[in-house]
Amino acid sequence: MPNNKWDEENIENLLKDFPAIKDERSKEDVYKCLKQARKPQKKTRHWIPYLVAALAFITFGVLLASMLGQNSNDSAFEMSSSEGEGAEESMAESGDANSAAVEESAGDEAETAVTDSSETTDSEEGSEAVTSAENTGEEAELSLYADQLDGMSLFTIGLTENAVVIPVSFVLWDDRLQEDFGTTEVDAAQLYNRYAAEIDEEALGFEDYHPYSGTVTRTDEGIEHVLPQNHDYDMASASMTVYFNSLAATFADAAEISSIDESGNPANFDQVGPVEPIDPAAQRIAYYSYTATTGNPYLVPGYNMPHETAVEALNAMKTSPNDLYGSLIPAGLDYTVSETEGTVTVEFNETVDFDSYGYQEVMRMIEGMSLAADSFGKELMLENTAANSWGRFDFSEPLPVPAGINVKDFNS
């Protein structure tokens, strides 16, 4: 034990004689050393050389197969070429025998094609007119005529904006009518009750007005509108004007239009009393141009501005009656009007060449004139034109009246 104690004391004294150990490095230096010491070494990927070798082997195999395929194709081409020469000789021998039959067949097909073409001309013309009515081209059609309605029907409805009623004719194709009604023979009341609610009037730039409150039915006398007790068509003078004009535009072909209450009596409007039936055919009006807030032009009747004679109405069309309606007559063009029992004649003061005017400008003038004459139950004749015909119009005879104006496709 004593010896061990000495040894321990000796060791302790020796340790005390050692100089003190100090680390004078900053904390940052120590942290950097530790960080470098902990950084793992990248593992060696021993499999990469094997992968490269495998890819090289696969590439070589693909190239070899391609070379063998090319040689095979060349051989096949040579064989087919030799066989083709023999086939050509055989075909040449049989060609003369078949040529007569081919010519005869081609003649029959051409004859059939001519027949089919003549049968579809009218429907194609109407379809093209509808398509052009939806664009803004120079020759866009705004109206359709009876001879263009093969395969389609027109649903006309009086839309409104700024208390102006604009007749708009929507094209309904026969297959749609067949699907919805089981027939293509559909009257105006049926069309209205089925399709009026589907028209997005606001999307077209008009006010949300249709369908009418109450019910619309067809009677032996014409059209009957049964009004509910709480309707607002007589709230003001403008409300009544729009209501009556929209009925006249929507059911223009009706003998008369009656507005009745739920008891079957004539509707009683606050400002006018019992409502008399409307005769839409007895408007006796002129026609004008109306530009909607969307910028689209429309052909519109001058409702609430009746004229005594057709001469007076046609002359009134030379000028704009108010800020909403514009004249359909091109600037600088003047004419005189005369009428007989069944005809209204417009004679231009100077020989007019319609080709010197815009297509739409002329179409809208002629159609407005013919519609104005028609509102008096008369046909329109034009005189002193440079050509005897223009477009669809033959000036040697009375001009046709559009079946529908301001045409739009119902599905557009």
Average pLDDT over residues 165-178: 97
- Kindly report each contact of residues 91-97 with a partner whose C-beta sits within 8 Å and lies 24 or more positions away, as own/partner: none
pLDDT at res. 129: 52
408 within 8 A of 373, measured Cβ to Cβ? no
Is 221 strand, coil or helix? coil
* pLDDT tens sequence across 260-296: 999 999 999 988 999 999 999 878 999 999 999 999 9
Which pLDDT score is estimated for 37? Answer: 45
Q: Is the pLDDT of residue 335 over 90?
A: yes
Written as one letter, the residue type at 172 is L
What mean pLDDT is predicted for residues 108-118? 42
Where on the phi/psi map is residue 255: left (φ > 0), alpha (ψ -120 to 50), or beta? alpha
Binning pLDDT at 50, 70 and 90, where does residue 60 land?
low
- The pLDDT, as a whole number, for residue 126 is 52
Beta strands in 247-318 (DSSP E): 257-260, 268-269, 273-274, 287-291, 297-301
On the question of pLDDT at 372 being above 80, the answer is: yes
Higher pLDDT, 120 or 154: 154
**Residue 19 confidence class, pLDDT cut points 50, 70, 90:** low
Rounded to whole angstroms, the Cα distance separating 327 from 374 reads: 18
- Residue bearing tokens 């440079």: 386
Are 133 and 142 in contact by the 8 Å Cβ rule? The answer is: yes
Looking at every residue in the chain, the average pLDDT score rounds to 80
Q: Which two tokens stand for residue 250?
A: 């929507």
DSSP 3-state assignment of 134?
Answer: coil
Residue 290 β-bridge partners: 298
Rounded to whole angstroms, the Cα distance separating 256 from 219 reads 10
Query: From CA 117, how far away is CA 120, in angstroms rounded?
Result: 5
Mean pLDDT of 358-366: 96
- The whole-number pLDDT of residue 56 equals 52
pLDDT exceeding 90 applies to what percent of the chain?
Answer: 64
Alpha carbon distance 333, 385 (integer Å): 12
Read off the pLDDT of each residue in 336-362 and give the average, rounded to a whole number.
97
Question: Region 285-312: what's the mean pLDDT?
Answer: 96
Residue 176, classified by CB atoms within 10 Å of its CB into exposed (0-12), middle (13-18) or buried (19+), is: middle
Give the pLDDT of residue 119.
41
Which amino acid would we find at residue 72?
Answer: S
Residue 131: count of CB within 10 angstroms of its CB: 14
- Stretch among 84-93, 135-144, 258-267 having the lowest mean pLDDT: 84-93
